[in-house]
Amino acid sequence: MVINPKEEMRLAAIRGLYDYREDIPEIVEKLVEIHNDVNNFDRESSEPVPSRDAIIRIIHQFRRILFPGYFAPVKLDKVSLQYYLGQEAVLLFEQLSHQITLCLKSDNAGKGLSCVYCDEQGREEAIRFMKQLPELKVLLTKDVQAGYEGDPAAGSLDEIILCYPGILAVTVYRIAHHLYRQNIPLMPRIISEYVHGLTGIDIHPGANIGASFFIDHGVGVVIGATADIGNRVRIYQGVTLGALAIPKEDVERLRTKKRHPTIEDDVIIYAGATILGGETVIGAGSVIGGNVWLTESVPPGTKVFIKKPELILKGSSR
Amino acid sequence: MVINPKEEMRLAAIRGLYDYREDIPEIVEKLVEIHNDVNNFDRESSEPVPSRDAIIRIIHQFRRILFPGYFAPVKLDKVSLQYYLGQEAVLLFEQLSHQITLCLKSDNAGKGLSCVYCDEQGREEAIRFMKQLPELKVLLTKDVQAGYEGDPAAGSLDEIILCYPGILAVTVYRIAHHLYRQNIPLMPRIISEYVHGLTGIDIHPGANIGASFFIDHGVGVVIGATADIGNRVRIYQGVTLGALAIPKEDVERLRTKKRHPTIEDDVIIYAGATILGGETVIGAGSVIGGNVWLTESVPPGTKVFIKKPELILKGSSR
Amino acid sequence: MVINPKEEMRLAAIRGLYDYREDIPEIVEKLVEIHNDVNNFDRESSEPVPSRDAIIRIIHQFRRILFPGYFAPVKLDKVSLQYYLGQEAVLLFEQLSHQITLCLKSDNAGKGLSCVYCDEQGREEAIRFMKQLPELKVLLTKDVQAGYEGDPAAGSLDEIILCYPGILAVTVYRIAHHLYRQNIPLMPRIISEYVHGLTGIDIHPGANIGASFFIDHGVGVVIGATADIGNRVRIYQGVTLGALAIPKEDVERLRTKKRHPTIEDDVIIYAGATILGGETVIGAGSVIGGNVWLTESVPPGTKVFIKKPELILKGSSR
Amino acid sequence: MVINPKEEMRLAAIRGLYDYREDIPEIVEKLVEIHNDVNNFDRESSEPVPSRDAIIRIIHQFRRILFPGYFAPVKLDKVSLQYYLGQEAVLLFEQLSHQITLCLKSDNAGKGLSCVYCDEQGREEAIRFMKQLPELKVLLTKDVQAGYEGDPAAGSLDEIILCYPGILAVTVYRIAHHLYRQNIPLMPRIISEYVHGLTGIDIHPGANIGASFFIDHGVGVVIGATADIGNRVRIYQGVTLGALAIPKEDVERLRTKKRHPTIEDDVIIYAGATILGGETVIGAGSVIGGNVWLTESVPPGTKVFIKKPELILKGSSR
Amino acid sequence: MVINPKEEMRLAAIRGLYDYREDIPEIVEKLVEIHNDVNNFDRESSEPVPSRDAIIRIIHQFRRILFPGYFAPVKLDKVSLQYYLGQEAVLLFEQLSHQITLCLKSDNAGKGLSCVYCDEQGREEAIRFMKQLPELKVLLTKDVQAGYEGDPAAGSLDEIILCYPGILAVTVYRIAHHLYRQNIPLMPRIISEYVHGLTGIDIHPGANIGASFFIDHGVGVVIGATADIGNRVRIYQGVTLGALAIPKEDVERLRTKKRHPTIEDDVIIYAGATILGGETVIGAGSVIGGNVWLTESVPPGTKVFIKKPELILKGSSR
Amino acid sequence: MVINPKEEMRLAAIRGLYDYREDIPEIVEKLVEIHNDVNNFDRESSEPVPSRDAIIRIIHQFRRILFPGYFAPVKLDKVSLQYYLGQEAVLLFEQLSHQITLCLKSDNAGKGLSCVYCDEQGREEAIRFMKQLPELKVLLTKDVQAGYEGDPAAGSLDEIILCYPGILAVTVYRIAHHLYRQNIPLMPRIISEYVHGLTGIDIHPGANIGASFFIDHGVGVVIGATADIGNRVRIYQGVTLGALAIPKEDVERLRTKKRHPTIEDDVIIYAGATILGGETVIGAGSVIGGNVWLTESVPPGTKVFIKKPELILKGSSR
């Protein structure tokens, strides 16, 4: 009788003659080798990467500062509000400036540059960002209001702030957008991909979005880096504001060009609509119907619907 | 040489003459002011908001009670089952009644009402809900069975219960729906948005869904608040059971009206189909094909497919 | 005056005559009964189910081993790299072999089989899997590279590895695929559904996917169990590589047959495209446009676009 | 061959015929019975007991407020100090008032009294206590100073505050003493026994201790409830300031009488000394030598040493 | 100028030429070598040691079962008591039997024995121990009562149970003693040393102690392995019930002999008293004064006090 | 009727007219003021204090490295030992060097010095310390052996290492002593006071202690900073090796002089003995009996016992 090697090894293992753990050192050795060989582990001498976990904690700090009545873990009143916000602000500054510094260093290291002032710059950018928090708060209040007015199913402002993924996504987008405009590398993207994972809403931090913006349901929404969106715009799940497919050879040339559409004030875009191209402008007050596919501009006040595709109905007897 | 102010500040910071932290008090002051000014922080004297984290923990308690063999952290047998379920039930009652009370108080506070019996009512609603757990368990068993029968790729019931996002979403929907029918404010929505984030499946707790319901894959599914779904219905990713767009001026009037479709028994709806409108009825046993867009009723036993949109094929030489 | 019973109970409760907790034992009793009645709790004498939480922790161990420079919680250099990888490998082996054993036992128990060698087999499969880690690492490096080249918006390789949901989904798919090919039950599905929840990307572990694969944005992507994908393929959000709807009576017959399409090398598939059927082959170098619906093969080098559905534009005066 | 029952049971267990778990329900039943029988579980209808863990956390809050530069987990400067102390004070108030309330209720319940105003009183006592924090801080500064001056081995004030068990014990005593004087039941004792466990120093919260008090080493120190200690007193490990043994029949009569000694200003008491009795007064500036046993007063400025017990020295050759 | 090597290395380090981490591999190599050389790491092939942390958690489980009204983290009433105790008992059984098994295996491994039935024996000993919990509870109630009656300073039974280190030490001793009598190796000592660390009270688990035992203050109490203590005995801090010093050559011979004193019923022993020797018997009802040193028996009803050592008093003028 | 102010406030509070929280800002203000006034918060501009918690974690890292077979949380064998020790060593280096740096900076700041090379020096001292770990391990093995031989009650080496407070204290002393000899400020004291709290054994890190040292029971042991202890010495609970009381005016002069006794090889010191003075030498092989009080030297081979104090025995009839 011939025993196949695998079965033989298993029997040996049961008899205590073979311990699978003994194979581990060889695996480790190969992994070490690979890491060096393919230049995957070339971070050795460079700066530590920013911590995704720390940055996610920072997002929640922002939320507590921006909506303390909803997310602060303590009761807030006129006695405690100032202490609470002050304490959170101090902690935010420490952590934000540290992570910005790591992002700057990591970015410089990637370009082969050293970074003499990165610590100082991290602190400067952090405080610069934090100075915008008050107006950010005002802006977010309008988004919440827009959500309440736009969705008749919303029971209360509380419901909007506590539950709506659209509000979470817009809050985090506005934070990421400010960091993006300060040219902080990496952090805006880490932030926006985090909330993308939570909500299924993918807004590139580079997009410009006006006041009173509302996304309902939201899963599958994609908003590209050079999209421009006016005030009081409302969009639904599955809406894409994307780029036209471009030939590979033009990629580099188009990198800095506007590739995503412009949506003017007071536009509504229903579920599943796709609007593509940097020169596409949806005029103010337009309504874009569900599943519409648009690569051209429409003038203000236009209503666009698909002519529904023909259906085939067959009675079944089963 | 003229130094720009930002660079000057940075140099001063490096020399130790300027500490960015010194700007924090002004930011805090403004935040405090904003909170008062724009009435964002008007929760001061009102009740604490319900805790999203606590409510999420409650969801997991439900799962442990409903599928203890899969989610209980201890070995269960005839000795331990009763103790385990009893202990979980007692803890659930405490936490559920507390959070329901907070939801009731928060809701009353929002309406400017005080709430004398909210504690008592919280306990009453909690026990009322818990009395439905046994039949909920029976119902969920049917959903699991439907999942197993509906998906030939499913290896075992274990796989359905442990992995399938559709089952998680339906379990949580059924919980939220019961709470919704008890008129508990906020909590059903917090629950359903939590599972929306986890699965990409958005079922409004107000929807009525029959037995043996199964959602496969699921990302992008949206089921509206007044949808009615019969028994043994199966749907796929990206299916929307939504409302027709309604003019803003009619919003208030339509608020209590049925706005979402009715799906009768034994219907299958394939990926990406969109069915809209409160008067749309999909007759029993119908099959709705992928990407179909329906705003009108179809009789029982109908098969509906899109006539595929014309394609343009171009050979490419690259 | 007639008091309704509910109000009476509530008043009694307030007066301290009625404690809602007293209803708990009856609920518990019924739950115990139900668990026994409907055979929901038939796991009593069987093996414990695998721990979803433990398996999720294992995924993160993989990531730390495969991209230690990005996810290891410690500074790595030539001194520490070997220790770190060695320590992680030892821990991974312990936990992986334990969970594989639980999966094997659970699977056997489900089939009414006892499992004499499951412990030994668990260890064997774990080491067998781990031996593939080095080449997995090489493969993933190519995926990262593909992501960087495919998306002009990507700022750096760091950004791809730290942020892109597509890379996370592919990393986890490749792990799950290896386990699937080793016939480990349950675990590959738990793993792939976990990342499905995080990214909205649903790749069945059974699919075969070549090197340098990239998914952009990704929410709503579904790739079926028998799909075959070549090298250097790029796909966007909402793409489905699925099966054609099959009559219920054929389900069993088709179970082992190829039901999902084949995508050859160098194909690009844009957002929302749906490609169905086991005999559908997309020839090498083809480009499939957004929202295309394909159930037939196309030859290499083909560009397929939908003839856009007719739109209805109405000027509005609001 | 006769098998003893224990061995038989074990063999049965190995054969799978006997599961020890089956004995658990009987044990549980007996425990339940016992709890009811011997009135050990008569807390059923009464108030919850105060939480020892919560009270221990409160102690650490006090330390952070009193020595923020040493125990605060954040960097403190003129920007953050006020926020930090404010935030800590608010949290302390919430938790302290809650635990005081539980102590009051528990105490009332033990006496068969209900407690209508306990919540209000808890808040009142908490704020009353907190108003004493500033002067407590001043007092503790003197204790630290005394420690530094009294121990030539102390390297710095930092060392005293961070390491010395004597300072920890005195800090906690001063807190407990204030609570004791406010007649808060239970809490002062929980606090003092906690630090007793940590340091081996047992100071009854009822003792009166003046400023600039220092205990060196400290293990085995016992200071009774009616001891009076002046300013600038220093004591060493193993010192007892206790009561004389009293006949059982006099216990009740003596309960409110002073039973422990009075130590006047500037006294030093060396290791192992025992001073007993309520009428014993150690006059100001006295020095009590190691192991001295005193039950009578000594006038100011006395030095007391034991005449060393005779020793027996035997040369040994081993 | 001659630079000393240390300073040179430090300068090199600052210049980046020398990284102290580079010395780590050599240290690790030596540690590995040492572990093998001196047979310190000879546990390689043997069983894992019992977990001190797990055993400490078990102690707290005991306390929650024995005094649930004080230590259970949930509200207990007639609804929840049974579930709570049942659930705790099941968990205790799992963990206790596991740790007993590890203790048995570790002990056998130390003697070079394999241990075929250790798992089974661990479960058997665990259930055997748990069957004694009800009577243990009754015994502890008497200890608490004795504490309350023995210390006029005790405000309530609550205070005794929640605060008194003596009660904690006796509770834990009684548990350890039962395990000791079941011949479980290691565990009783781990338990008793844990509480020794917490309270400064060192009771060997081998000692026999009657009902209604009370230790006041307690730091420094030592009770040897063969001490016998009757009912209603009360002792104070610093009391030693020890062995006489024995010549090294007699150690082995005396190992199993009674080496520590016998204390009959109703004896009181005041602080610092030392009673030595296996033949020393303190007759019932005796009172031993503070600091007494006894190596001989005294008849029942004796009061023993030291003739106080002569004091030297010197007036000081300072 | 006159209402006292306190009662009035309480009634106002109940009526909702008075919120005790309103008093918090004044308290905070005073605390801030106090911190500035009495120079208690003069650390503002200085370096952060070392973290006591981090240093305690470092102690446990040492134990895991020195006795990995007992304290490592993973199974160790020839595959894993090197990885484990390597990983622990790398982590230890990071944390140890960081905390040493903080200790150096804090010390310099206290002296008004800045500290340019403290980071570098911290790393240097850390590696210097770690180089001594192998020989430390050898030394500790001898201490364990001494414990096993010295205490006939010890069941196994396992018991000594896992349970004995004496071994814990000596392990930690040897670590602290090395750091002390490297002139690291603060850290040795934090370490020794931590273990003092756990064991009641207070060994100053400055003491010199030879090989094979054993402390039994241990509570109350005090060993002063300039004590010298030879090889194979054994001591019991309550032993003091202390300084003679010195007049205040001589403190400074004596600070650097030897103030504590010398214990030569092979000495045994029984419980409660007190040996004082820098010139006191206990000759090799001597035995010091319980409660002996010695301030003079004894020649080698001497046995010293107290002539027992006279006892007063009174028969009692009760």
Q: Residues C194, C98: one domain?
A: yes
When pLDDT is cut at 50, 70 and 90, the band that residue D153 belongs to is confident
Cα–Cα distance, C199 to B199 (Å, whole number): 9
When scoring B15, B20, B113 by the number of chain A Cβ atoms within 10 A, the one with the most, hence best to mutate, is: B20
User: Would the CA dihedral through D70, D76, D77, D79 be positive or negative?
Assistant: negative
CATH number of the domain bearing residue D225: 2.160.10.10
pLDDT above 90: residue C41: no
DSSP-derived 3-state class of residue D30: helix
Q: Which of F201, F220, F254 is where one domain is finished?
A: F201
- Burial-class residue A9 by CB neighbours within 10 Å (0-12, 13-18, 19+): middle
Distance from CA of B40 to the nearest CA of C (A): 32
Please list every residue in chain E whose beta carbon sits closer than 8 Å to the beta carbon of residue B86. Answer: 80, 82-83, 86-87
Answer yes or no: do F83 and C87 touch at CB < 8 A. Answer: yes
H helices of B184-301, in order, are: 187-199, 251-254
Q: Which of C201, C223, C252 is where one domain is finished?
A: C201
Cα–Cα distance, B285 to C108 (Å, whole number): 37
When scoring D27, D36, D44, D253 by the number of chain E Cβ atoms within 10 A, the one with the most, hence best to mutate, is: D27
Structure tokens at E315: 């007036």
Q: Which residue has the higher pLDDT, E209 or D318?
A: E209
Q: Please report the pLDDT score of residue E318 as a whole number.
A: 44
When pLDDT is cut at 50, 70 and 90, the band that residue C38 belongs to is low
What phi and psi, each to the nearest 5 degrees, are found at residue F40?
Answer: -80, -25
Q: Residues F215, F121: one domain?
A: no
Q: Residues D134, D231: one domain?
A: no
Q: Do the Cβ atoms of E252 and E232 come closer than 8 Å?
A: no
Q: Please report the pLDDT score of residue E310 as a whole number.
A: 80
Q: What is the mean pLDDT of chain C?
A: 88
Distance from CA of E140 to the nearest CA of F (A): 25
When pLDDT is cut at 50, 70 and 90, the band that residue B318 belongs to is very low
Q: Which residue has the higher pLDDT, A115 or D45?
A: A115
Answer yes or no: do A137 and B299 touch at CB < 8 A. Answer: no
CATH number of the domain bearing residue C181: 1.10.3130.10
pLDDT in tens, B173-210: 999 999 999 999 999 999 999 999 999 999 999 999 99
Q: Please report the pLDDT score of residue B44 as a whole number.
A: 45
Distance from CA of D80 to the nearest CA of B (A): 9
pLDDT above 60: residue E7: yes
pLDDT above 90: residue E33: no
When pLDDT is cut at 50, 70 and 90, the band that residue B42 belongs to is very low
Q: What number of residues does chain B have?
A: 318
Q: Please report the pLDDT score of residue C95 as a whole number.
A: 95
Q: Which residue has the higher pLDDT, F306 or C187?
A: C187
When pLDDT is cut at 50, 70 and 90, the band that residue F251 belongs to is low
- Expressed as residue numbers, the domain containing E240 is 207-306
Q: Residues B146, B289: one domain?
A: no
Q: Please report the pLDDT score of residue A44 as a whole number.
A: 46
Q: Residues D72, D110: one domain?
A: yes
C11 in any annotated domain: no
F84 in any annotated domain: yes
Please list every residue in chain B whose beta carbon sits closer than 8 Å to the beta carbon of residue E74. Answer: 90-91, 94
pLDDT above 80: residue C47: no
Q: Which residue has the higher pLDDT, E2 or C208?
A: C208
pLDDT above 90: residue F150: no
Q: Which residue has the higher pLDDT, B13 or F285?
A: F285
Query: In this complex, which of A24, A25, A79 lies closest to F21 when CB atoms are compared?
Result: A79
Query: In this complex, which of C220, C290, C311 lies closest to A274 when CB atoms are compared?
Result: C290
Q: Do the Cβ atoms of D284 and D250 come closer than 8 Å?
A: no
pLDDT in tens, F214-225: 999 999 999 999
Cα–Cα distance, A207 to A258 (Å, whole number): 10
Q: List subunits contacting chain E, requiring 3 or more Cβ pairs under 8 Å.
A: B, C, D, F
Residue F263 pairs in a beta bridge with: F229, F282
pLDDT in tens, F104-136: 998 888 777 878 788 999 999 999 999 999 999
Answer yes or no: do F87 and C82 touch at CB < 8 A. Answer: no
- With touching defined as 3 or more inter-chain CB pairs under 8 Å, the answer for chains E and C is yes
Q: Please report the pLDDT score of residue D296 as a whole number.
A: 94
Query: In this predicted structure, which of B156-160, B300-304, C164-168 has the lowest mean pLDDT?
Result: B156-160
B53 in any annotated domain: yes
Q: Please report the pLDDT score of residue B40 as a whole number.
A: 54
Q: How far is CA B273 from CA A294, B223, B291, B292, in A?
A: 20, 12, 4, 5
Q: What is the mean pLDDT of chain E?
A: 88
pLDDT in tens, D234-261: 999 999 999 987 666 666 666 678 999 9
Q: Which of F142, F171, F201 is where one domain is finished?
A: F201
Please list every residue in chain B whose beta carbon sits closer than 8 Å to the beta carbon of residue D83. Answer: 28
pLDDT in tens, A238-284: 999 999 876 666 666 666 789 999 999 999 999 999 999 999 999 99
Q: Do the Cβ atoms of C98 and C50 come closer than 8 Å?
A: no
pLDDT above 50: residue A316: yes
The bridge status of strand E228-229 relative to strand D281-282 is unpaired
Q: Residues D288, D304: one domain?
A: yes
Q: Please report the pLDDT score of residue A3 as a whole number.
A: 63
Range from D100-109, E252-261, F17-26, F43-52 that averages highest in pLDDT: D100-109
Cα–Cα distance, B244 to B251 (Å, whole number): 11
Q: How many CA atoms lie within 13 A of E193 on its CB side?
A: 23
pLDDT in tens, C152-180: 777 788 889 999 999 999 999 999 999 99
Cα–Cα distance, A201 to A218 (Å, whole number): 6
Query: In this complex, which of B74, B79, B90 lies closest to E80 when CB atoms are compared?
Result: B90
Q: Please report the pLDDT score of residue D198 as a whole number.
A: 95
Residue E315 pairs in a beta bridge with: D302
Q: Please report the pLDDT score of residue B251 as a whole number.
A: 60
Query: In this complex, which of F13, F25, F302 lies closest to D314 when CB atoms are compared?
Result: F302
C183 in any annotated domain: yes
pLDDT above 60: residue F46: no
Structural domain count of chain F? 2
pLDDT in tens, B256-299: 789 999 999 999 999 999 999 999 999 999 999 999 999 999 99
pLDDT in tens, E159-217: 899 999 999 999 999 999 999 999 999 999 999 999 999 999 999 999 999 999 999 99
Q: Please report the pLDDT score of residue D49 as a whole number.
A: 81
F19 in any annotated domain: no
Q: Please report the pLDDT score of residue E194 as a whole number.
A: 95
User: What is the secondary structure of E185-225 as a DSSP string?
Assistant: -SHHHHHHHHHHHHHS-EE-TT-EE-SS-EEES-TT-EE-T
pLDDT above 80: residue A45: no
Q: Do the Cβ atoms of B174 and B140 come closer than 8 Å?
A: yes
User: Would the CA dihedral through B129, B130, B136, B138 be positive or negative?
Assistant: negative
When pLDDT is cut at 50, 70 and 90, the band that residue F248 belongs to is low
Q: Residues D261, D132: one domain?
A: no
Q: Residues F271, F290: one domain?
A: yes
pLDDT in tens, D156-210: 888 899 999 999 999 999 999 999 999 999 999 999 999 999 999 999 999 999 9
Percent of chain C exceeding pLDDT 90 equals 60
B64 in any annotated domain: yes
Q: Residues D222, D135: one domain?
A: no
What is the average per-residue pLDDT within A208-221?
A: 96
Answer yes or no: do C309 and A304 touch at CB < 8 A. Answer: no
Q: Which residue has the higher pLDDT, D176 or B154?
A: D176
When pLDDT is cut at 50, 70 and 90, the band that residue E220 belongs to is very high
Q: Please report the pLDDT score of residue C18 as a whole number.
A: 75
User: What is the secondary structure of A18-33 as a DSSP string?
Assistant: --GGGGHHHHHHHHHH
Put the strands of the sheet holding C293-294 in their side by side order.
Answer: C202-203, C222-223, C240-242, C274-276, C293-294
Q: Residues E211, E295: one domain?
A: yes
What is the average per-residue pLDDT within D123-146?
A: 93
B259 in any annotated domain: yes
Answer yes or no: do B28 and D83 touch at CB < 8 A. Answer: yes
* F308: nearest Cα among D184, A158, A132, E276: E276
Q: What is the mean pLDDT of chain F?
A: 88
pLDDT above 60: residue C205: yes
Q: Residues D213, D178: one domain?
A: no
E76, E78, E81, E82: CA torsion to nearest 10? -170
The bridge status of strand C302-306 relative to strand B311-315 is antiparallel
C127 in any annotated domain: yes
pLDDT in tens, D94-112: 999 999 999 999 888 878 7
Q: Residues E112, E129: one domain?
A: yes
When pLDDT is cut at 50, 70 and 90, the band that residue F42 belongs to is very low
Query: In this complex, which of F21, F202, F242 lies closest to D219 when CB atoms are compared?
Result: F202
Please list every residue in chain D whose beta carbon sits closer than 8 Å to the beta carbon of residue A86. Answer: 80, 82-83, 86-87
